[in-house]
C-alpha cells in the first residue's frame, strides 16, 4: 500500500470512493472541506492506494504541539479518520493503519489523533479501525456520548415510541398554535441560535451565517436543511440538519428562544423532524452529544432519551508514532 497526499486531480475519485464506502460521511468529502478558507488549517489530505485502486481516503491537517508535529483528522469536521471500503476486513484495515503510521514516521511527525464516526454511520458496522489503533498503543482522549434515534424501530405511531412527557410537550405546542416548517432562510433562525449559545455556553456557533450559506451552496440544498418552530410568524426554535450519508442525518444545531420555552416548541420540533427523517429513508437520526469531556448534562440526556434516543460513543483516539 502507498500513502500519498491527495491532489486536485484526485477529487472525483476521492468523492466517488467516499460515497460508496462503508463509513464515509459528508465530513470526509473534498467539497465539504472546501468551505474552510485557505490558511485556516495546514491541510494534508491523504490517499492510500494499492496499485491503481484507492483503498482509503484520510482527510487531515498538521498541528504543531509542544512535542512536535501531529497529523490530525480534520479540525473543521465532526468526524475523520480513514474511510474504508464496505468489503474490507480486519487484516486490510490493520495494513492501512500501519501504512498511515509509517507515513507519519517517514515525515518526522510525532503523533496522530483522530475522531472516528460512531458505528451507526457505517454501512456494515464494525470496530476494526479502533481495534487496530488500540492494538498499536493508541488511547482514547475523548469518549463522548451522542444521542441516536433508531428510526427503524419507531413505527408509524410516534406517540407510542416516545415517553409521555415528550408527547405532552408536543401536544401543548400544537394546542398553542406552534407549527413546524422547513425554512431555507438561515438568517431567520441564526439570531435565535446565536443568542442561545451565548446565554447558555458563552460561545458562538461553529459556523458563521455566511459559512452556513456557503456550505449549502457547495453541498446542495438537500445536504443542509433547516426546520423551525413558528408562532404568529415568530421563530421560537430551530434545527439545522446535515445529510451525513444515506444512513444518518445529523442535527448539527438545535436551539430555541428561552422566552418561549414554556410553549414546548422544541418537543414538537423533535417529533416532526424525527417523522421527516423516517419518511426520507434514513436509518438513524443523530441528535448530537449530551456529554462534554465525559461530564453528563443529565437534563439534556433525559430530554433526548424521551424521544427514544440512546447514547452512542463518539470517540477520539491519539498515539505517538
The strand pair at 68-73 and 111-115 is best described as: parallel
Whichever domain contains 154, its CATH number is: 3.40.630.30
**155 plus 300 within the same structural domain:** yes
Q: Looking at the chain, how many residues does it have?
A: 321
Write down the pLDDT at residue 120: 97
Structural domain count, the chain? 2
Which range is least confidently modeled, 49-63, 121-135, 151-165?
A: 151-165
Alpha helices (H) in 220-297, listed in sequence order: 265-279
**159 plus 275 within the same structural domain:** yes
DSSP annotation string for 88-139: --HHHHHHHHHHHHHHHHHTT--EEEEEPPPGGG-SS---HHHHHHHHTT-E
Whether pLDDT at 318 is above 80: yes
Whether pLDDT at 160 is above 90: no
Whether pLDDT at 16 is above 90: yes
Rounded to the nearest 10 degrees, what angle do helices 186-201 and 209-219 cross at?
130
The owner of cell 468489503 is: 87
57 found inside a domain: yes
Half-sphere exposure of 99 (CA within 13 A, CB side): 20
Write down the pLDDT at residue 155: 78
Q: For residues 248 and 285, is the Cβ–Cβ distance under 8 A?
A: yes
155 found inside a domain: yes
CB atoms within 10 A of CB 281: 10
**16 plus 73 within the same structural domain:** yes
Question: Which of 137, 166, 194 is a domain's end point?
Answer: 137
Which range is least confidently modeled, 84-98, 195-209, 232-246?
A: 195-209
Which range is least confidently modeled, 34-48, 175-189, 225-239, 296-310?
A: 34-48
**234 plus 195 within the same structural domain:** yes
Its domain, for residue 129, covers: 2-137
97 found inside a domain: yes
**221 plus 301 within the same structural domain:** yes
- Mean per-residue pLDDT, 12-18: 98
Whether pLDDT at 161 is above 90: no
Write down the pLDDT at residue 231: 97
- Mean per-residue pLDDT, 110-129: 97
Question: Which of 137, 158, 183 is a domain's end point?
Answer: 137
**127 plus 161 within the same structural domain:** no
- Mean per-residue pLDDT, 144-167: 90
Q: Which residues of 209-240 are buried (b: 16+ CB within 10 A; e: fewer)?
A: eebbbbbbebbeeebbbbbbbbbeeebbbbbb
Which CA distances in Å does 38 have to 7, 27, 35, 138, 219? 15, 17, 9, 31, 18
The strand pair at 248-256 and 284-289 is best described as: parallel
Q: Which tops the pLDDT comparison, 40 or 15? A: 15
Order of strands across the sheet that contains 60-65? 42-43, 60-65, 68-73, 111-115, 309-320, 139-150, 284-289, 248-256, 234-245, 224-231, 179-182
Question: Which of 81, 104, 137 is a domain's end point?
Answer: 137
- Mean per-residue pLDDT, 272-284: 96
**75 plus 161 within the same structural domain:** no
Torsional sign, CA 303, 307, 308, 312: negative
- Mean per-residue pLDDT, 28-42: 91
Write down the pLDDT at residue 10: 97
- Mean per-residue pLDDT, 300-311: 97
- Mean per-residue pLDDT, 305-320: 97
Torsional sign, CA 313, 314, 320, 321: positive
Rounded to the nearest 10 degrees, what angle do helices 265-279 and 164-175 cross at?
100
pLDDT digit string, tens, across residues 182-198:
999 999 999 999 998 88
Which range is least confidently modeled, 1-15, 46-60, 117-131, 187-201?
A: 187-201
Mean of the per-residue pLDDT values of the chain: 95
Whether pLDDT at 76 is above 90: no
Amino acid at each position: 500500500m502507498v500513502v500519498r497526499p491527495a491532489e486536485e486531480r484526485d477529487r472525483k475519485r476521492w468523492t466517488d470512493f467516499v460515497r460508496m464506502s462503508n463509513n464515509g460521511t459528508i465530513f470526509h468529502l473534498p467539497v465539504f472541506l472546501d468551505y474552510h478558507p485557505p490558511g485556516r488549517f495546514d491541510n494534508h489530505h491523504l490517499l492510500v492506494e494499492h496499485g491503481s485502486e484507492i483503498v482509503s481516503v484520510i482527510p487531515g491537517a498538521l498541528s504543531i504541539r509542544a512535542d512536535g508535529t501531529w497529523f490530525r483528522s480534520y479540525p473543521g469536521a465532526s468526524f475523520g479518520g480513514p474511510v474504508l471500503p464496505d468489503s474490507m476486513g480486519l487484516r486490510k484495515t490493520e495494513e492501512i493503519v500501519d501504512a498511515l503510521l509509517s507515513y507519519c514516521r517517514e515525515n518526522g511527525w510525532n503523533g496522530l489523533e483522530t475522531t472516528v464516526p460512531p458505528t451507526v454511520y457505517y454501512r456494515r458496522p464494525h470496530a476494526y479501525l479502533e481495534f487496530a489503533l488500540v492494538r498499536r498503543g493508541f488511547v482514547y482522549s475523548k469518549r463522548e456520548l451522542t444521542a441516536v434515534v433508531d428510526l427503524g424501530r419507531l413505527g408509524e405511531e410516534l406517540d407510542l415510541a416516545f415517553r409521555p412527557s415528550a408527547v405532552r410537550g408536543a401536544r401543548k405546542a400544537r394546542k398553542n398554535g406552534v407549527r413546524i416548517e422547513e425554512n431555507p432562510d438561515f438568517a431567520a433562525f441564526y439570531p435565535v441560535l446565536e443568542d442561545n449559545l451565548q446565554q447558555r455556553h458563552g460561545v458562538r456557533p461553529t459556523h458563521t451565517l455566511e459559512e452556513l450559506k456557503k456550505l449549502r451552496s457547495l453541498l446542495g440544498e438537500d445536504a443542509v436543511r433547516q426546520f423551525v418552530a413558528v408562532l404568529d410568524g415568530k421563530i421560537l426554535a430551530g434545527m439545522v440538519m446535515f445529510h451525513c450519508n444515506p444512513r444518518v442525518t445529523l442535527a448539527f444545531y438545535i436551539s430555541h428562544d428561552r422566552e418561549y420555552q414554556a410553549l414546548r416548541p422544541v418537543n414538537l420540533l423533535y417529533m416532526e423532524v424525527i417523522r421527516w427523517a423516517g419518511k426520507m429513508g434514513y436509518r438513524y437520526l443523530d441528535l448530537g452529544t449530551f456529554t462534554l469531556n465525559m461530564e453528563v448534562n443529565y437534563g439534556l440526556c433525559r430530554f433526548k432519551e424521551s424521544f427514544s434516543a440512546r447514547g452512542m460513543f463518539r470517540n477520539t483516539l491519539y498515539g505517538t508514532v
